[in-house]
Amino acid sequence: MSVRRFWASVSTLAVAAAISLGAAGPASAAGSGAAAGGYAALGDSYSSGVGAGNYLPDSGDCRRSANAYPHLWARANSPASFDFVACSGATTSSVAGNQLGVLNASTSLVSVTAGGNDVGFADVMTDCVLSSEAVCVNSVNAAVARMNNSLPGALDSLYGSIRDRAPQAQVVVLGYPRFYQLPGRCIVGLTDTERSAINNASDVLNDVLAKRAADAGFTFSSVVDEFTGHELCSGDAWLHSVTVPIHNSYHPKAAGQSGGYLPAFRSAV
Q: Are strands 219-221 and 107-113 parallel, antiparallel or unpaired?
A: unpaired
What does the angle CA 113 – CA 102 – CA 38 come to, to the nearest 5 degrees?
85
Catalytic, 251? Answer yes
Looking at the DSSP bridge assignments, the partners of residue 83 are: 40
Catalytic residue among 230, 240, 247, 251: 251
Instruction: Say if CB 112 and CB 91 are below 8 A apart.
Output: no
| DSSP assigned state of 8 | T
| DSSP assigned state of 213 | H
DSSP H or E stretch at residue 26: none
Count CB neighbours of 193 within 10 A. Answer: 12
Count CB neighbours of 61 within 10 A. Answer: 17
In the chain, count of helices (H) and strands (E)? 12, 5
Catalytic, 45? Answer yes
Q: In whole angstroms, what is the distance from residue 100 CA to residue 165 CA?
A: 7
Can you state the angle between helices 121-130 and 192-216, rounded to 10 degrees?
Answer: 170
Catalytic residue among 28, 45, 59, 111: 45
Active site residues: 45, 251
